[in-house]
Structure 1
Amino acid sequence: MSHDHDHDAQTGERWKHDGVRVIRGDRLDPNTAQTPGMFRQAAINHARVGAQKIWAGTVSIQPDAKTGVHHHGALESVIYVVSGRARMRWGERLEFVAEAGPGDFIFVPPFVPHQEINADPDNPLECVLVRSDNEAVVVNIADVDPVEAPEEVYWIDPIHTRP
Protein backbone atom coordinates (compact mmCIF):
# COMPACT_ATOMS: atom_id res chain seq x y z
CA MET A 1 0.00 0.00 0.00
CA SER A 2 1.49 3.36 -0.98
CA HIS A 3 1.79 6.34 1.33
CA ASP A 4 -0.62 8.36 -0.86
CA HIS A 5 -3.19 5.59 -0.63
CA ASP A 6 -2.94 5.56 3.19
CA HIS A 7 -3.51 9.34 3.23
CA ASP A 8 -6.52 9.00 0.90
CA ALA A 9 -8.00 6.26 3.10
CA GLN A 10 -7.61 8.39 6.24
CA THR A 11 -9.12 11.42 4.50
CA GLY A 12 -11.92 9.20 3.24
CA GLU A 13 -12.68 8.04 6.76
CA ARG A 14 -12.70 11.62 8.07
CA TRP A 15 -15.39 12.79 5.64
CA LYS A 16 -17.55 9.82 6.59
CA HIS A 17 -17.60 10.99 10.20
CA ASP A 18 -17.04 14.75 9.84
CA GLY A 19 -19.03 15.35 6.64
CA VAL A 20 -22.35 17.12 6.24
CA ARG A 21 -24.00 18.12 9.51
CA VAL A 22 -27.66 18.92 10.09
CA ILE A 23 -28.35 21.26 13.00
CA ARG A 24 -31.99 20.97 14.00
CA GLY A 25 -33.82 24.25 14.56
CA ASP A 26 -34.77 23.20 18.08
CA ARG A 27 -31.12 22.50 18.96
CA LEU A 28 -29.54 25.93 18.45
CA ASP A 29 -27.06 27.20 21.03
CA PRO A 30 -28.09 30.33 23.01
CA ASN A 31 -24.58 30.55 24.53
CA THR A 32 -23.66 33.54 22.35
CA ALA A 33 -23.51 37.33 22.75
CA GLN A 34 -26.91 38.74 23.70
CA THR A 35 -28.39 42.23 23.46
CA PRO A 36 -31.42 43.38 25.49
CA GLY A 37 -34.56 42.82 23.39
CA MET A 38 -32.78 40.31 21.16
CA PHE A 39 -32.23 36.58 21.41
CA ARG A 40 -29.36 35.13 19.33
CA GLN A 41 -28.67 31.43 18.86
CA ALA A 42 -25.72 29.83 17.08
CA ALA A 43 -26.30 27.03 14.59
CA ILE A 44 -22.92 26.85 12.86
CA ASN A 45 -19.67 27.79 14.57
CA HIS A 46 -16.34 26.24 15.48
CA ALA A 47 -17.49 24.83 18.81
CA ARG A 48 -20.57 23.12 17.38
CA VAL A 49 -19.39 21.80 14.00
CA GLY A 50 -15.75 22.77 13.58
CA ALA A 51 -16.49 25.65 11.17
CA GLN A 52 -13.31 27.58 10.38
CA LYS A 53 -14.49 30.53 8.29
CA ILE A 54 -18.17 31.17 9.00
CA TRP A 55 -20.72 31.67 11.76
CA ALA A 56 -24.46 31.22 11.25
CA GLY A 57 -27.41 31.45 13.56
CA THR A 58 -30.70 33.15 14.27
CA VAL A 59 -31.85 36.29 16.02
CA SER A 60 -35.28 37.18 17.31
CA ILE A 61 -35.74 40.90 17.94
CA GLN A 62 -38.61 42.11 20.10
CA PRO A 63 -40.98 44.83 18.81
CA ASP A 64 -39.30 48.27 18.67
CA ALA A 65 -35.98 46.85 19.98
CA LYS A 66 -32.68 48.00 18.50
CA THR A 67 -28.96 47.52 18.90
CA GLY A 68 -26.50 50.21 19.80
CA VAL A 69 -24.31 51.58 17.02
CA HIS A 70 -21.56 49.08 16.19
CA HIS A 71 -19.54 47.42 13.45
CA HIS A 72 -18.09 43.94 13.01
CA GLY A 73 -14.51 44.77 12.08
CA ALA A 74 -13.30 43.01 8.94
CA LEU A 75 -16.25 40.58 8.94
CA GLU A 76 -18.93 40.58 6.27
CA SER A 77 -22.45 39.90 7.53
CA VAL A 78 -25.60 38.70 5.82
CA ILE A 79 -29.02 38.98 7.42
CA TYR A 80 -31.97 37.07 5.93
CA VAL A 81 -35.37 38.31 7.12
CA VAL A 82 -37.66 35.37 7.89
CA SER A 83 -40.56 37.41 9.29
CA GLY A 84 -41.20 40.95 10.44
CA ARG A 85 -39.77 44.28 9.31
CA ALA A 86 -36.07 45.14 9.67
CA ARG A 87 -34.76 48.69 9.58
CA MET A 88 -31.03 49.23 9.17
CA ARG A 89 -29.39 52.57 9.82
CA TRP A 90 -25.74 53.09 8.92
CA GLY A 91 -23.10 55.72 8.34
CA GLU A 92 -20.88 57.83 10.55
CA ARG A 93 -23.99 59.57 11.90
CA LEU A 94 -26.53 56.87 10.96
CA GLU A 95 -27.50 59.15 8.10
CA PHE A 96 -28.71 56.31 5.85
CA VAL A 97 -31.65 53.96 6.34
CA ALA A 98 -33.18 51.02 4.51
CA GLU A 99 -35.88 48.51 5.38
CA ALA A 100 -36.25 44.84 4.55
CA GLY A 101 -39.08 42.35 4.91
CA PRO A 102 -39.62 38.59 4.69
CA GLY A 103 -37.47 37.00 2.00
CA ASP A 104 -35.07 39.96 1.78
CA PHE A 105 -31.31 39.74 2.36
CA ILE A 106 -29.24 42.52 3.96
CA PHE A 107 -25.48 42.72 3.36
CA VAL A 108 -23.34 44.59 5.90
CA PRO A 109 -19.79 45.25 4.61
CA PRO A 110 -16.74 45.30 6.91
CA PHE A 111 -16.27 48.24 9.27
CA VAL A 112 -19.64 49.87 8.45
CA PRO A 113 -21.13 51.53 11.57
CA HIS A 114 -24.75 50.39 11.76
CA GLN A 115 -27.76 49.86 13.94
CA GLU A 116 -30.30 47.04 13.60
CA ILE A 117 -33.90 47.92 14.45
CA ASN A 118 -37.18 46.04 14.56
CA ALA A 119 -39.38 48.47 12.62
CA ASP A 120 -42.62 46.79 13.73
CA PRO A 121 -44.04 48.05 17.05
CA ASP A 122 -46.26 44.97 17.43
CA ASN A 123 -44.42 41.88 16.16
CA PRO A 124 -41.01 40.26 16.61
CA LEU A 125 -38.45 40.31 13.82
CA GLU A 126 -37.02 36.86 13.00
CA CYS A 127 -33.77 36.67 11.03
CA VAL A 128 -31.00 34.28 10.03
CA LEU A 129 -27.46 35.68 10.40
CA VAL A 130 -24.30 34.59 8.60
CA ARG A 131 -20.88 36.09 9.25
CA SER A 132 -17.67 35.53 7.30
CA ASP A 133 -15.64 34.39 10.28
CA ASN A 134 -16.10 32.28 13.36
CA GLU A 135 -14.88 34.97 15.75
CA ALA A 136 -17.59 37.20 17.23
CA VAL A 137 -16.32 40.69 16.45
CA VAL A 138 -18.49 43.53 17.73
CA VAL A 139 -17.02 47.00 18.10
CA ASN A 140 -19.48 49.24 19.94
CA ILE A 141 -19.41 52.92 18.99
CA ALA A 142 -20.61 55.17 21.81
CA ASP A 143 -19.82 58.63 20.44
CA VAL A 144 -22.18 58.74 17.45
CA ASP A 145 -24.26 61.86 17.08
CA PRO A 146 -27.13 60.52 14.94
CA VAL A 147 -28.81 62.78 12.45
CA GLU A 148 -32.46 63.47 13.18
CA ALA A 149 -33.98 62.31 9.90
CA PRO A 150 -31.86 59.66 8.17
CA GLU A 151 -31.69 59.78 4.42
CA GLU A 152 -33.52 56.90 2.77
CA VAL A 153 -31.29 55.08 0.30
CA TYR A 154 -32.92 52.77 -2.19
CA TRP A 155 -31.20 49.76 -3.67
CA ILE A 156 -31.63 50.49 -7.36
CA ASP A 157 -30.37 48.05 -9.98
CA PRO A 158 -31.91 46.26 -12.99
CA ILE A 159 -34.15 44.25 -10.63
CA HIS A 160 -34.94 46.88 -7.99
CA THR A 161 -36.49 50.20 -9.00
CA ARG A 162 -37.12 53.17 -6.77
CA PRO A 163 -40.46 52.63 -4.94
Structure 2
Amino acid sequence: MGHDHHHPQDHAHDHGLEDHWKNNGVRVIKGDRLDPNTAQTPGMFRQAAINHARVGAQKIWAGTVSIQPNAKTGVHHHGALESVIYVVRGRARMRWGDRLEYVAEAEAGDFIFVPPYVPHQEINADPDHPLDCVLVRSDNEAVVVNITDVDPVEAPEEVYWVDAIHRAPE
Protein backbone atom coordinates (compact mmCIF):
# COMPACT_ATOMS: atom_id res chain seq x y z
CA MET A 1 0.00 0.00 0.00
CA GLY A 2 1.71 3.14 -1.20
CA HIS A 3 1.11 6.74 -0.37
CA ASP A 4 -0.01 9.14 -3.03
CA HIS A 5 2.34 12.10 -2.67
CA HIS A 6 1.71 15.16 -4.75
CA HIS A 7 4.69 17.48 -4.91
CA PRO A 8 4.86 20.65 -6.99
CA GLN A 9 8.25 19.60 -8.38
CA ASP A 10 6.53 16.57 -9.98
CA HIS A 11 5.15 18.91 -12.62
CA ALA A 12 8.17 19.65 -14.77
CA HIS A 13 5.97 21.55 -17.20
CA ASP A 14 5.42 24.28 -14.57
CA HIS A 15 8.24 26.58 -15.74
CA GLY A 16 7.48 29.20 -13.08
CA LEU A 17 8.28 26.64 -10.39
CA GLU A 18 11.47 25.59 -12.17
CA ASP A 19 12.63 29.20 -12.11
CA HIS A 20 11.68 29.39 -8.44
CA TRP A 21 14.05 26.54 -7.52
CA LYS A 22 16.74 27.86 -9.83
CA ASN A 23 16.74 31.22 -8.04
CA ASN A 24 15.84 30.04 -4.53
CA GLY A 25 17.47 26.63 -4.26
CA VAL A 26 20.93 25.42 -3.32
CA ARG A 27 23.68 28.04 -3.10
CA VAL A 28 27.42 27.45 -3.19
CA ILE A 29 29.52 30.10 -1.50
CA LYS A 30 33.13 29.91 -2.65
CA GLY A 31 35.72 29.94 0.14
CA ASP A 32 37.50 32.92 -1.38
CA ARG A 33 34.25 34.95 -1.49
CA LEU A 34 33.41 35.20 2.23
CA ASP A 35 32.17 38.49 3.67
CA PRO A 36 34.38 40.17 6.32
CA ASN A 37 31.60 42.71 7.00
CA THR A 38 30.42 40.93 10.16
CA ALA A 39 30.65 41.43 13.91
CA GLN A 40 34.27 41.20 15.06
CA THR A 41 36.02 40.54 18.37
CA PRO A 42 39.58 41.74 19.02
CA GLY A 43 42.12 39.02 18.25
CA MET A 44 40.09 37.11 15.65
CA PHE A 45 38.95 37.60 12.07
CA ARG A 46 35.39 36.42 11.29
CA GLN A 47 33.95 36.09 7.79
CA ALA A 48 30.34 35.24 6.91
CA ALA A 49 29.49 32.58 4.35
CA ILE A 50 25.82 31.96 5.11
CA ASN A 51 23.49 34.58 6.61
CA HIS A 52 20.29 36.41 5.79
CA ALA A 53 21.96 39.16 3.78
CA ARG A 54 23.96 36.78 1.58
CA VAL A 55 21.56 33.88 0.90
CA GLY A 56 18.31 34.66 2.71
CA ALA A 57 19.00 32.28 5.62
CA GLN A 58 16.25 32.53 8.24
CA LYS A 59 17.53 30.38 11.13
CA ILE A 60 21.28 29.92 10.76
CA TRP A 61 24.58 31.80 10.37
CA ALA A 62 27.81 30.15 9.20
CA GLY A 63 31.27 31.40 8.49
CA THR A 64 34.93 31.12 9.36
CA VAL A 65 37.25 32.49 11.98
CA SER A 66 41.05 32.74 12.01
CA ILE A 67 43.19 33.44 15.06
CA GLN A 68 46.89 34.15 14.69
CA PRO A 69 49.56 32.04 16.50
CA ASN A 70 49.56 32.51 20.29
CA ALA A 71 46.75 35.09 20.05
CA LYS A 72 43.83 35.42 22.48
CA THR A 73 40.47 36.94 21.58
CA GLY A 74 38.62 39.46 23.66
CA VAL A 75 36.05 38.04 26.08
CA HIS A 76 32.58 37.89 24.52
CA HIS A 77 29.30 36.00 24.28
CA HIS A 78 26.70 35.54 21.56
CA GLY A 79 23.48 36.45 23.32
CA ALA A 80 20.69 33.89 22.98
CA LEU A 81 22.46 32.09 20.13
CA GLU A 82 23.93 28.60 20.30
CA SER A 83 27.29 28.26 18.55
CA VAL A 84 29.20 25.34 17.10
CA ILE A 85 32.89 25.68 16.28
CA TYR A 86 34.61 23.07 14.10
CA VAL A 87 38.40 23.17 14.27
CA VAL A 88 39.75 22.83 10.73
CA ARG A 89 43.43 23.45 11.49
CA GLY A 90 45.38 24.18 14.65
CA ARG A 91 44.75 23.87 18.38
CA ALA A 92 42.03 25.85 20.16
CA ARG A 93 42.00 26.59 23.86
CA MET A 94 38.60 27.74 25.09
CA ARG A 95 38.22 29.59 28.39
CA TRP A 96 34.78 30.34 29.80
CA GLY A 97 32.92 31.36 32.93
CA ASP A 98 32.40 34.63 34.78
CA ARG A 99 36.17 34.87 35.37
CA LEU A 100 37.20 32.55 32.52
CA GLU A 101 37.95 30.00 35.23
CA TYR A 102 37.28 26.92 33.04
CA VAL A 103 39.44 25.69 30.19
CA ALA A 104 39.35 22.96 27.54
CA GLU A 105 41.29 22.33 24.34
CA ALA A 106 40.25 21.11 20.91
CA GLU A 107 42.26 20.19 17.84
CA ALA A 108 41.64 19.67 14.12
CA GLY A 109 38.53 17.55 13.63
CA ASP A 110 36.96 18.44 17.00
CA PHE A 111 33.67 20.27 17.54
CA ILE A 112 33.06 22.83 20.30
CA PHE A 113 29.58 23.79 21.54
CA VAL A 114 29.04 27.20 23.15
CA PRO A 115 25.63 27.64 24.85
CA PRO A 116 23.78 30.99 24.91
CA TYR A 117 25.17 33.85 27.03
CA VAL A 118 28.35 31.98 28.08
CA PRO A 119 31.26 34.44 28.45
CA HIS A 120 34.20 32.90 26.62
CA GLN A 121 37.56 33.51 25.03
CA GLU A 122 39.19 31.66 22.16
CA ILE A 123 42.95 31.17 22.34
CA ASN A 124 45.26 29.82 19.67
CA ALA A 125 47.25 27.30 21.72
CA ASP A 126 49.82 26.86 18.93
CA PRO A 127 52.69 29.39 19.02
CA ASP A 128 53.66 28.74 15.39
CA HIS A 129 50.51 28.22 13.28
CA PRO A 130 47.16 29.96 12.77
CA LEU A 131 43.96 28.48 14.18
CA ASP A 132 41.27 28.11 11.49
CA CYS A 133 37.69 27.17 12.37
CA VAL A 134 34.21 27.00 10.87
CA LEU A 135 31.44 28.65 12.93
CA VAL A 136 27.72 27.87 12.84
CA ARG A 137 25.16 29.80 14.89
CA SER A 138 21.46 29.28 15.54
CA ASP A 139 20.26 32.54 13.95
CA ASN A 140 20.85 34.39 10.70
CA GLU A 141 23.00 37.16 12.18
CA ALA A 142 26.27 36.96 14.10
CA VAL A 143 25.41 38.47 17.48
CA VAL A 144 28.57 39.35 19.41
CA VAL A 145 28.61 41.06 22.79
CA ASN A 146 32.19 42.01 23.66
CA ILE A 147 32.86 42.09 27.43
CA THR A 148 35.55 44.41 28.75
CA ASP A 149 35.09 44.22 32.53
CA VAL A 150 35.95 40.60 33.36
CA ASP A 151 37.54 40.00 36.77
CA PRO A 152 41.12 38.71 36.66
CA VAL A 153 41.35 35.06 35.74
CA GLU A 154 42.22 32.70 38.56
CA ALA A 155 44.17 29.48 38.05
CA PRO A 156 42.18 27.60 35.42
CA GLU A 157 40.23 24.51 36.37
CA GLU A 158 40.58 21.64 33.91
CA VAL A 159 37.16 20.55 32.66
CA TYR A 160 37.13 17.33 30.70
CA TRP A 161 34.83 16.55 27.79
CA VAL A 162 32.96 13.53 29.15
CA ASP A 163 30.43 11.66 27.03
CA ALA A 164 29.67 8.12 25.87
CA ILE A 165 33.12 7.68 24.30
CA HIS A 166 35.28 9.99 26.46
CA ARG A 167 35.76 9.16 30.12
CA ALA A 168 37.15 11.52 32.76
CA PRO A 169 40.72 10.67 33.77
CA GLU A 170 41.05 8.79 37.04
Tell me the TM-score normalised to structure 2 length.
Answer: 0.85
Q: Which sections of structure 2, spanning at least 5 residues, go unmatched?
A: 1-7
1:38 counterpart (32, 35, 44): 44
Contact 2:46/2:63, CA 8 A, preserved across alignment:
yes
2:74 counterpart (64, 68, 84): 68
What is the total number of aligned residue pairs between the two structures? 157
The alignment status of 1:130 with 2:136, answered yes or no, reads: yes
- Which residue of structure 1 lines up, in the alignment, with residue 24 of structure 2? 18
In structure 2, what is the Cα distance between the partners aligned to 1:71 and 1:38? 14
In structure 2, what is the Cα distance between the partners aligned to 1:162 and 1:110? 25
- 2:105 corresponds to which letter in structure 1? E
The alignment status of 1:160 with 2:158, answered yes or no, reads: no
Over residues 102-152 of structure 1, what are the superposed CA-to-partner deviations in whole Å (9 max), with x where a residue is unaligned? Answer: 000000000111111111111100000011112221122222113331101
In structure 1, what is the Cα distance between the partners aligned to 2:38 and 2:146? 16
Q: Which sections of structure 1, spanning at least 5 residues, go unmatched?
A: none
Over residues 9-64 of structure 1, what are the superposed CA-to-partner deviations in whole Å (9 max), with x where a residue is unaligned? Answer: 55554223210111111111122233444222111011111111111011111011
1:151 counterpart (152, 157, 161): 157
In structure 1, what is the Cα distance between the partners aligned to 2:37 and 2:143? 15
Tell me the TM-score normalised to structure 1 length.
Answer: 0.88
C-alpha RMSD of matched pairs (Å): 1.8
Identity of aligned residues (%): 84
The alignment status of 1:92 with 2:98, answered yes or no, reads: yes
Who wins on radius of gyration, i.e. which is larger?
2
In structure 1, what is the Cα distance between the partners aligned to 2:38 and 2:71? 18
